[in-house]
Each structure stands twice: as structure tokens, then as C-alpha cells.
């Protein structure tokens, strides 16, 4: 009987550790990502070409390539997406940046940290 109780306690302990580790992974960097400052970029001064930028923020780490044509943002490609990416969020954000020609756009509701992570990568690409 003691062996059965010991096995049950070990299994429960492993499950608790796994759940705790998962929660830590999912929330790690959440606060710093939500408070991430996004700065405006001046694309009019940039030469035509492709610019690569990234943001390193745990599960929100990502890399983008921004194409400038005629001193305007013409395309943004995601090279390395954030973990748990939702294509509709990424597409909406990229469309906003291209439409406004700047990184100071509203974040996508319900995806603030993901939005800011991509915006920071775009900013980093264009401010090198």
C-alpha cells in the first residue's frame, strides 16, 4: 500500500510541476512585453531594399523582413513568428503598419504583447 501511495504522490508532483512550468513559460515576459515602448520610424529617409529586424522576448521573440520601395513600406514578411501565432492578428497588424507607414499603430485587441513584439521588430529593422 505504501508503494501505491508513493507512486501516486510522485505522479501528482510531476503533474503539478508540469502545469507550473507551463504557466511560467506562457506568462514569462508578459508584463515587460505589455510595457514595451514602440517608437515612430521615418521611412522617407530609407533607401529601397529589404531590412531585417527582430525582437527577443521569450515566446514573443520574432523576426521580420520589411521591404521599402519608393521610400515607403511596401511589404512585411514574418521570417520567424512568435509562438502561438494567430495569422489574423499578424495580418491585421502588418496591414495597419503598411497603411500608416509607421510603427505607431494601435495594437490588436486581445493581442497587445504579440502586437508590440512585431512592432518592435519592424522598428528595429527600420532604425538600423
Q: What structural domains does the chain harbor?
A: 31-126 (3.90.1010.20)
For the chain, give the percent of residues with pLDDT over 70: 88
pLDDT at 124: 97
Answer with the residue of higher pLDDT: 110 or 74. 74
pLDDT at 21: 57
What's the first-to-final CA gap in the chain, in angstroms?
Answer: 66
Query: What cell does 66 get?
Result: 520589411
Residue with cell 533607401: 47
Separation CA 103–CA 33 (nearest Å): 16
Opening angle at CA 113, ends 108 and 119, nearest 5: 70
Backbone Cα Rg of the chain: 20
Is the pLDDT reported for residue 25 higher than 60? no
pLDDT at 22: 57
pLDDT at 27: 57
User: What's the pLDDT tens digit per position in 34-81?
Assistant: 789 999 999 999 999 999 999 999 899 999 999 999 999 999 999 999
SS3 (DSSP) at 78? strand
pLDDT at 34: 79
Amino acid at each position: 500500500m505504501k508503494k501505491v501511495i508513493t507512486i501516486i504522490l510522485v505522479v501528482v508532483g510531476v503533474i503539478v510541476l508540469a502545469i507550473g512550468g507551463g504557466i511560467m513559460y506562457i506568462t514569462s515576459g508578459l508584463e515587460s512585453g505589455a510595457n514595451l515602448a514602440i517608437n515612430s520610424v521615418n521611412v522617407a529617409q530609407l533607401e529601397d531594399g529589404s531590412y531585417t529586424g527582430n525582437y527577443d522576448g521569450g515566446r514573443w521573440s520574432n523576426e521580420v523582413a520589411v521591404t521599402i520601395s519608393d521610400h515607403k513600406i511596401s511589404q512585411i514578411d514574418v521570417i520567424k513568428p512568435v509562438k502561438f501565432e494567430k495569422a489574423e492578428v499578424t495580418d491585421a497588424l502588418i496591414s495597419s503598419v503598411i497603411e500608416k507607414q509607421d510603427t505607431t499603430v494601435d495594437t490588436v485587441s486581445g493581442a497587445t504583447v504579440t502586437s508590440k513584439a512585431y512592432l518592435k521588430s519592424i522598428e528595429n529593422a527600420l532604425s538600423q
